[in-house]
Amino acid sequence: MAKILITGGAGFIGSHLCEKLLQKGEEVFVIDDLSTGRMENIAHLKKNKKFHFIKETILNRKKMEILIKKCRKIFHLAAAVGVKTIIDKPLESFLININGTEIVLEIAAKYKVPVLITSSSEVYGKNNNLPFKEEDDRVYGSIYHNRWGYGLSKGSDEFLALAYFQEKNLPIVIVRLFNVIGPRQSGAYGMVAPRFIKQALSGKPIMVYGNGEQTRCFADVEDITDALIKLINEPRARGEIFNLGSSKEITIKALAQEIKLLANSKSKIVFVPYTKVYGPNFEDMAHRRPDLSKIKNLIGYQPKITLKESLKKIINKG
C-alpha cells in the first residue's frame, strides 16, 4: 500500500479522509499545525500503527520535504478556514494559502508525487451564472474588502497547480468544494450548519445572518471523501478542475427551521444584519450551486446521503 500525506489532516474533512484511507489499509501521514484542526478529531486514530501525526506548519519546507519524499500521494487540504478567519486575519490567511501550496507543489514536482488540491466554491466570487461550471468566469468585489481574499488566494493556488502540471509534468487534481458538512465540523469559523446545530441543542437563539433567503447546497463528508479518493486514483482527472458537493439548494432560513425541528429545539430563529457580524461593506453570494456533470461523467459521482440524514447524524453526535 502507498504512503499518503494529508496536509491539514486534523481538520474536519481531513480527519474523515484519514479514517477512510486507514480502513483501506493505507499508511497515512498527517501534518497539521492545529491552528484550526483539533487533536480530538484524530485522537482515535493514534493507536493505528499506520497512522502518523506531525504537529508542524506546512510552511516548514525542510519538514515538508522529508514527508513528501517518502509518500506516493498527497491530499493538500491545509488552508485558512472560514469567512471570519479571512476577515479577521487577511495576511495570515493569504500567506498560508499561497505560500503553503507553493511549497507543496514545488517539492512534489521534485519527487513527482501526485497532488490533489482542495479549492473552494469561493473562487466563483459574485458570479451569478448558475449553476457554476468549472470553466466559468470569476467575479470578485473590491480589493478593499477582505471578504474576497480567500477566493483570490484559492484561485491563485489553482493557477499555480495548473502551471506545475503544464510546465513540470506534476500530476495534479483540483477540487472545488461546496459546503461540506458532517460530524466534527466546527462552527467557530463561520460554518453555518454546526453553528445552527450548537445553538439549537443549547436552546440559544439560532442566528441567521442577513435575511436568510440566500441559498446553499450541502453535501455529507462521507460522500466527499469517497470522491476525493476516486479522483486522486483516476489518471484521467490529472490536470483537471472539478466541482464537488451537492446541487440541491436550500435557503439558510429553511436550514435553520429544519435543524430546529430535527433537534426538537425551542430556540428562536433570529435574523442578524451582516454588518453586526462581519463589519461594514460585507458582501455575500445570494446563491452557490455547482454544475456536477463533469465529476459525474468521470467517476460516476452521485451524493448518497441526504441533507436530512446528514443533519440527523450531526445532531445525534451532539
For residue 72, the Cα-to-chain-centroid distance in whole angstroms is 22
Q: Backbone dihedral region of 277: left (phi > 0), alpha (psi from -120 to 50 degrees) or beta? A: alpha
Q: Which long-range contacts (CB under 8 A, 24 or more apart) does 253-257 make?
A: 253/208, 253/211, 253/212, 253/213, 254/212, 255/192, 255/193, 255/196, 255/216, 255/218, 256/196, 256/206, 256/208, 256/212
CB-CB contact of 88 with 46 (8 Å): no
Distance (Å) of CA 223 to CA 27, 112, 186, 247: 21, 28, 19, 13
Burial (CB count within 10 angstroms: exposed 0-12, middle 13-18, buried 19+), residue 276 = exposed
Q: Backbone dihedral region of 279: left (phi > 0), alpha (psi from -120 to 50 degrees) or beta? A: left
How crowded is residue 244: how many other Cβ atoms within 10 Å of its Cβ? 24
Residues belonging to the active site? 150
Sign of CA dihedral 149, 81, 178, 287: negative
Helix 90-111 crosses helix 61-70 at what angle (to 10 degrees)?
40
